Structure 1
Amino acid sequence: MPTLQAADDLNLLPVPFVSQVMPIEPDWIDYNGHLNMAYYNVLFDRAIDELWLHLGIGADYVKRRGGSTFTAECHVRYLRELHLGDPAQVTILLVEADDKRLHTFEELRHATDGWLSATSENMTLHVDMSTRKTAPFPPDIRARIAAVADAHRGVTRPEGIGRSVAMPSKRG
């Protein structure tokens, strides 16, 4: 994982953000012989943690600054199975951000072949841990987030952003 020192230069981050390659662990394979649905979320979460480090809101942010992030909403689409031995990598697009919220869209891909396995669209809230209520990001963090959001604004929006769950005959 990147260190906090790596967070010093947001200009070096790829657009969209690209996680390190992650292996599929043996205990994550279910009785169908593929990655259990819960572990897709583990991969997405590990990738978000990498980006959060660059933004200055990683795991030590709670101790240092008393803030954290909570996921308020998540929509996962499972598009193609991953299996034991498949290398996985996540790209993260910061779709939009404001004083308290981050809207992200993540794509989980086979790291060497490039095919899309799953997507995850999330609304994340900034929380003051002393009150456990939403609160604005500190100004320095907000500036870091704004810089990444600005860089991501020019990226073509992937298929699936804003998609709702509905029976195929009910989609408009």
Structure 2
Amino acid sequence: MTETAAHVHEAEPFRSSIMQIEPQWIDYNGHLNMAYYNVMFDRAIDQLWLKLGIGPTYMKERHGSTFTAECHVRYLREIHLGDPVQILVWLLEADDKRLHTFEELRHATEGWLSATSENMSLHMDMTSRKVAPFPSDIRERIASVVKDHSALPRPEGIGRNVAMPSKR
């Protein structure tokens, strides 16, 4: 996928390309190892970043990038070798320096939900390696997607905490 600076007008969450599970990602339990869910979530985010114009070309030419500051993954159903997967991404909120995303990893042909990932990403000035505001053209593009995605139903699981169930 090539990097574009075109408007990303979505009437639905961003959909990644369909991905295949790689054999070396299967652990001794016979399912996808937890680390590789993050690999696939990251690949999907990279695809969205390309559409927003903040991928490798942006890094090279404008010296900006994003770093993940926080990530919360929920593992809901096993994925196995041979299962095609697709990731849906909602850009929930953004400000001058941060992007709040929510992702669902789904079986690409059967549609069932395997995992979710909620993330906070920071925009970085790669020259100083410090958090910095997005350039105005990028900020406008991001704001447009946030507006489009805010009209969508919010997926279940946003804002969940890790905690033991309370006993009453």
TM-score (norm 1): 0.94
- Report what 1:89 is aligned to: 86
Please point out which of 7, 10, 15 is paired with 2:8.
10
Query: Root-mean-square deviation (CA), in Å?
Result: 1.4
Q: Does 1:160 align with 2:157?
A: yes
Distance 1:149 1:10 in 2: 10
Distance 1:84 1:138, change over 3 A: same
Amino acid of the residue matched to residue 19 of structure 1? S
CA-to-aligned-CA distance 1:29-78 (integer Å, 9 cap, x gap): 00000000000000000000000001110122111101110000000000
Amino acid of the residue matched to residue 8 of structure 1? A
Q: Does 1:126 align with 2:123?
A: yes
Q: Does 1:21 align with 2:18?
A: yes
Amino acid of the residue matched to residue 75 of structure 1? H
- Report what 2:39 is aligned to: 42
The Cα shift of 1:14 comes to: 5.2
Q: Which runs of 4+ in 1 moved over 3 A?
A: none
Amino acid of the residue matched to residue 110 of structure 1? H
Q: How many residues align?
A: 168
Distance 2:50 2:167 in 1: 40
For structure 2, list consecutive stretches of 5 or more residues without a partner in the other structure.
none
Whether the aligned pair in 1 keeps the contact of 2:11 and 2:149 (CA below 8 Å) is no
SS in 1 for 2:147: helix
Distance 2:41 2:81 in 1: 17
Whether the aligned pair in 1 keeps the contact of 2:6 and 2:52 (CA below 8 Å) is no
- Structure with the higher helix share, 1 or 2: 1
Amino acid of the residue matched to residue 147 of structure 1? S
For structure 1, list consecutive stretches of 5 or more residues without a partner in the other structure.
none
TM-score (norm 2): 0.96
